[in-house]
Structure 1
Amino acid sequence: MASPLPPAIFLMGPTAAGKTDLALELARVLPCELISVDSALIYRGMDIGTAKPDKATLAEFPHALIDICDPAESYSAAQFRQDALAAMAEATARGRIPLLVGGTMLYYKALLEGLAAMPSADAQVRAELEARAQAEGWQALHDELRCVDPESAARIHPNDPQRLIRALEVYRVSGLSMTAHRQRQQAENTVAGAAAGGQFPYTVAQLAVAPADRSLLHERIALRFQLMLEQGFIDEVEALRQRSDLHPGLPSIRAVGYRQVWDYLEGNLSKAQMQERGIIATRQLAKRQFTWLRGWQDVQWLDSLACDNLPRALKCLAAVSILT
């Protein structure tokens, strides 16, 4: 008889919903090790605008995959999957339960399903694409992508240069679109999964926390952005801006809030415009996270404003045999 799979917990939800607070409550009563699932918390020196847990919290409740990259570096979903699986295996070996907390849904998807192997970056191709974008505009590149990979073009906005260049780079380097690479990987995974039982190597309880009333989440987002400004968010971005190796095209600086404050410091926005656009961008992020979660399977929802989330979460964990 096969050994039972070890337990793991996913704690998901939109930004500003209270995921960290509930994760800490769970960690106080369960033998958990926390693993961050957040594409902004990976960066050192980006603390205020990412709502990173403070030093005292991290000292008491260490989180894997926080502060692992410099803002000048890129970090892919494939790298996350490798790092997260390693952190989960280490926690399991210590007899602990991996508790993954964060809102980067692509990371969760990569962890559960894997990712198609894509060709490596090609500096010459990227330079050619960037030069064309400067000469003709990003819409011209998006039009090209729509011709060679309509599915990716439907997902990628013309004003998302990082993903747009990557999608075209993949096609030019390999002769296959991103969509074709993913379809081939899915077919291979189906065959391999059937041979291996088709299982992710953990019994996972998937929890999502959010206010039942969406307008309350919008209020929380606005209040949190204002608090970030009071805590020194502008100074934090100014310190990044003083570095010669950082610029607005990097994934770190494109993070929600950072790009808006950067534009303010560049003189492109007034302070009021910066705050308004930062809040709007954060709301849009929350909307995208909700969209992901609406199509997610086996999710147990918790109201982040309820006072009984801990016992409800423990009941959900027991229902899927996380707790014995």
Structure 2
Amino acid sequence: MVIIFLNGQKNSFPISQNQILRLTLLSWIILDLLKFHPVLMNNRIPVIALLGPTAIGKSKIALELYDQYPIEIVSVDSAMIYKDMDIGTDKPTHEVLASKKHHLIDIRNPNQNYNVGDFYSDVNNVITEIHSNRKVPLLVGGSMMYFNRLFKGLSQIPGRSISDRKLINHLNNFYTSTQLHECLKHFDKKSYNNINKNDKQRIERAIEVYMSSGKPITSFFNKTNLLEVNYKFINIKLTISSRKDIHEKISHRVKQMFKKGLIDEVIYVRDKYSLSKDSQSMKSIGYRHVLEYLETKETVNDLQNKCLFATRQLAKRQHTWLKQFTDVIDIDISTNKTDKLKQIIDNYLQFI
């Protein structure tokens, strides 16, 4: 006998023991699902972020997870967005990209610009699309500035202006970066103090924002759109305790790049898209070094050493960024491999 209240009235129904067991099991399943229902989670649905320094093996682990979980991979890499730049970015092969769903790879030509604002908008749209497919986004990459914006929100800075951009290019013909940096002192003292006098890109952007809005770029920094209002980020940081191990991985990565034909790739991309050392895509590690090599005719060995040193410096900067991210789960892959990682994901995705 089971008693159910309908519209305030007590009703009795005959029911067998087997039916009671089935109803009990069903109620447990429903309650488990409801725990993760977007409404009951304050509309914050899960997004997994897999962070780590270059060459640590993030992409390989992501592919392993893809085969076991209902996820789609989202690249958080400022160089993988460019078409035809495959070797220097260590991009997944065409076969992998064709068989496993990836996002934000090959979305720009190398002669096009792309900034953190573009990424923030694109990744928001991609996350929405993946959730509509009843999958979970797995954000993977080493562009820490992109991750930083994801976690802290994007400042509502005015967009770029073609007319202002032309004027700034004109100013560049007459003034050095140091002189333009000195200008900041008169209308944006905070940027003047925070931006290095040799950081040409940030100096120009600060001037451009002031020209278009009449306000210092720093005045926009506290006005942010936060993705975490809608999404629950599960941030997993991959580390290796031994610096020697990461250096060996970086050395292997650099050797493989040249073995696969990095120099020929740079020449091909440069000629196809009419690129120069000032092109945004060509400022990536490996690409800018090969362009310098083609101009100076230094030895290939010297070129490889420069790429190796630059990649190690990148890993060092990435470690510095990673220390700033406090809401993360640390996993040392040299000891835990992927077992702990999978256990964490199991706990979060058991409702799927």
TM class, shorter-length: 0.7 to 0.9
Aligned equivalent of 1:52: 91
CA distance in structure 1 between the partners assigned to 2:96 and 2:64 by the alignment: 12
- Seen in structure 2, the aligned counterparts of structure 1 residues 24 and 255 have a Cα distance that, compared at 3 Å, is same
CA distance in structure 1 between the partners assigned to 2:50 and 2:104 by the alignment: 15
Aligned equivalent of 1:62: 101
Aligned equivalent of 1:6: 45
Question: Comparing 123-132 with 255-264, which one deviates more in the overlay?
Answer: 123-132
1:312 to 322, 337, 340: 340
Aligned equivalent of 2:132: 93
Does residue 228 (structure 1) correspond to residue 257 (structure 2)? The answer is yes
Please tell me the residue identity of whatever aligns with 1:3: L
- Seen in structure 2, the aligned counterparts of structure 1 residues 84 and 114 have a Cα distance that, compared at 3 Å, is same
Aligned-residue offset at 1:50: 0.3
**TM-score normalised by L of structure 1:** 0.87
CA distance in structure 2 between the partners assigned to 1:160 and 1:154 by the alignment: 12
Whether contact under 8 Å (1:203, 1:322) holds in the other structure is: no
Whether contact under 8 Å (2:250, 2:311) holds in the other structure is: yes
Aligned equivalent of 1:207: 236
Aligned equivalent of 1:108: 147
- Seen in structure 2, the aligned counterparts of structure 1 residues 269 and 167 have a Cα distance that, compared at 3 Å, is farther
**TM-score normalised by L of structure 2:** 0.80
C-alpha distance after superposition, 1:133-154 (max 9, x if no partner): 4444322223333554454455
- Seen in structure 2, the aligned counterparts of structure 1 residues 281 and 64 have a Cα distance that, compared at 3 Å, is same
Aligned-residue offset at 1:314: 2.1
Please tell me the residue identity of whatever aligns with 1:48: I
Aligned equivalent of 2:158: 119
- Seen in structure 2, the aligned counterparts of structure 1 residues 136 and 13 have a Cα distance that, compared at 3 Å, is same
C-alpha distance after superposition, 1:293-315 (max 9, x if no partner): 10102211222333x43220122
Aligned equivalent of 2:12: none
Question: Comparing 261-270 with 125-134, which one deviates more in the overlay?
Answer: 125-134
CA distance in structure 2 between the partners assigned to 1:268 and 1:249 by the alignment: 19
Secondary structure of the 2:246 match is helix
Aligned equivalent of 1:286: 315
Aligned-residue offset at 1:36: 0.7
Secondary structure of the 2:73 match is strand
- Seen in structure 2, the aligned counterparts of structure 1 residues 100 and 244 have a Cα distance that, compared at 3 Å, is closer
Whether contact under 8 Å (1:162, 1:249) holds in the other structure is: no
Question: Comparing 277-286 with 264-273, which one deviates more in the overlay?
Answer: 264-273
CA distance in structure 2 between the partners assigned to 1:275 and 1:222 by the alignment: 10
Aligned-residue offset at 1:239: 0.9
- Unmatched runs of 5 consecutive residues or more in structure 2: 1-36
Please tell me the residue identity of whatever aligns with 1:245: S
Aligned-residue offset at 1:74: 1.0
- Seen in structure 2, the aligned counterparts of structure 1 residues 101 and 153 have a Cα distance that, compared at 3 Å, is farther
- Seen in structure 2, the aligned counterparts of structure 1 residues 58 and 173 have a Cα distance that, compared at 3 Å, is same
Aligned-residue offset at 1:252: 0.5
C-alpha distance after superposition, 1:98-135 (max 9, x if no partner): 11111112222323343222233234443443444444
Whether contact under 8 Å (1:32, 1:97) holds in the other structure is: yes
- Seen in structure 2, the aligned counterparts of structure 1 residues 74 and 313 have a Cα distance that, compared at 3 Å, is same
- Unmatched runs of 5 consecutive residues or more in structure 1: none
Please tell me the residue identity of whatever aligns with 1:224: R
- Seen in structure 2, the aligned counterparts of structure 1 residues 151 and 61 have a Cα distance that, compared at 3 Å, is farther
CA RMSD across the alignment = 2.4
- Seen in structure 2, the aligned counterparts of structure 1 residues 141 and 90 have a Cα distance that, compared at 3 Å, is same
- Seen in structure 2, the aligned counterparts of structure 1 residues 105 and 234 have a Cα distance that, compared at 3 Å, is same
Aligned-residue offset at 1:179: 1.1
Please tell me the residue identity of whatever aligns with 1:289: Q
CA distance in structure 2 between the partners assigned to 1:42 and 1:170 by the alignment: 25
Aligned equivalent of 1:323: 350
- Seen in structure 2, the aligned counterparts of structure 1 residues 62 and 199 have a Cα distance that, compared at 3 Å, is closer
Please tell me the residue identity of whatever aligns with 1:313: L
Whether contact under 8 Å (2:180, 2:203) holds in the other structure is: yes
- Seen in structure 2, the aligned counterparts of structure 1 residues 127 and 250 have a Cα distance that, compared at 3 Å, is same
CA distance in structure 2 between the partners assigned to 1:244 and 1:24 by the alignment: 31
2:210 to 157, 164, 171: 171
Aligned equivalent of 2:5: none
CA distance in structure 2 between the partners assigned to 1:86 and 1:57 by the alignment: 23
Whether contact under 8 Å (2:111, 2:273) holds in the other structure is: no
Q: Alignment length, in residue pairs? A: 312
CA distance in structure 2 between the partners assigned to 1:262 and 1:128 by the alignment: 28
